[in-house]
Amino acid sequence: MTNQTISKQSLVTQLREQIEYPRAGVFSKVLIQDQACQYTLFCLAATTEISEHTSTRNATVNVLEGKGVLNLSGEDITLEPGVFIFMPANAPHALKAEENLAFLLTLSEKVTNK
């Protein structure tokens, strides 16, 4: 299945067909975005590390395949297929791929209480 646009706001794709592992490092591909959210496929080669950082936006991680460890606010979380993680805006996090690792990262606007 290739990417299929149904309307300006719709996209249908088979995520597993979009996965491309680099020889080293990170491959990322923005699948679709609007004013509120950005959906990005991340593919990390085995042993790749992303150093600790934060984001001003809320984020979710949906692990598609592979294994790794996400350190979120000082706690290690095992990444494996099926794991879903919500990370609030400004939460410090770092990542290490123990083997080739693919996940869908969704960034969304931080909800503020008024």
Three-state DSSP string of the chain: CCCECCCCCCCECCHHHHCCCCCCCEEEEEEEECCCEEEEEEEECCCCEEEEECCCCEEEEEEEECCEEEEECCEEEEECCCCEEEECCCCCEEEEECCCEEEEEEEECCCCCC
This model's pTM is above 0.85: yes
**For residue 113, is pLDDT > 80?**
no
The listed CATH number (3.30.420.40, 2.40.160.10, 1.20.210.10, 2.60.120.10) that belongs to domain 15-108: 2.60.120.10
- Per-domain residue ranges of the chain: 15-108
Residue 97's pLDDT band (cuts 50, 70, 90): very high
**Residue 11 has what pLDDT?**
86
